[in-house]
Amino acid sequence: MNLSHFDFSIILHGKFAEMLWSGFITTIQLSSISCILAFFLGLNIAVMRMMPFAPVRFFAQCYLEFLRNTPLIVQLFFWYFGSYQVLPSFVNNWLNEMSFEFAAAVIALTFYTSAFIAEDIRSGILAIPKEQMEASRSSGFTYIRSMHYIILPQAVRLTIPPLINQFLNLAKNSSMAMVIGVGELTYQARQIESQSFKSFEAFFAATFIYICISFAITGMVNIYDKKVLNPMGKGSH
């Protein structure tokens, strides 16, 4: 392949560079908001999945099975086209004041990813010796307080590697938001391709940016693991 046949200057200057930058910013915003929401939602679902109260466990199990076994693209369409029927009117009015497509994508990505994060965290909880929960309960802690102060900090540290994978998957899955009109990176790359007929250049640029995002996510989570969750420098095993 002779790279001299390709003109990369079109994506470095002018409106196409601005389109790529706009898509990059939207992808970062979409991924960041969804990552944070999915983590905390998944954390709560994992705790509910382990609670001794059967109806709560049943709800969490149904939540996980439904979301993990439904394609993300179906969930995107569901929230984009069906949210008016399942959300309260005041919520829909608030979403309409924002970018409705962006909000629908955040909701879909958050719910979808939280189901996988919940299972990863549950695996981390199961890896903690049950004697620690028994000791905390015998000390007067409630189940929730025991989880919050004793079990979850250890479980999250143990699940850092799979959590990195989930965050990376979410960043890549954000490209599917283009199907409901979100102007993220892949959407903008397609717009550039359709306007310039430079398919290779447009999608090469998008691919390169996605790789940079992936390395950045991996680096930030590893720094968080070392500086916050594991400040003594011990490995996460």
What's the mean pLDDT in 205-227? 84
Q: Are 229 and 43 in contact (CB under 8 A)?
A: no
Pairwise pLDDT comparison (75 vs 143), residue with the higher score: 75
The pLDDT-based confidence of 235 (bands split at 50, 70, 90) is very low
Which pLDDT score is estimated for 217?
83
CA triple 35-40-45, angle to 5 deg: 120
Which pLDDT score is estimated for 30?
95
Specify the pTM: 0.84
CATH class assigned to 24-187: mainly alpha
pLDDT in tens, 88-106: 776 777 777 778 899 899 9
What's the mean pLDDT in 25-36? 94
Q: Are 212 and 24 in contact (CB under 8 A)?
A: no
What's the mean pLDDT in 102-130? 92
pLDDT beyond 90 at 37: yes
pLDDT beyond 50 at 237: no
CA triple 77-79-80, angle to 5 deg: 60
Domain residue ranges of the chain, discontinuous segments joined by +:
24-187
Q: Which of 35, 50, 33, 37 is nearest to 148 (CA)?
A: 50
Q: What is the mean pLDDT of the chain?
A: 85
What's the mean pLDDT in 175-201? 91
Which pLDDT score is estimated for 6?
64
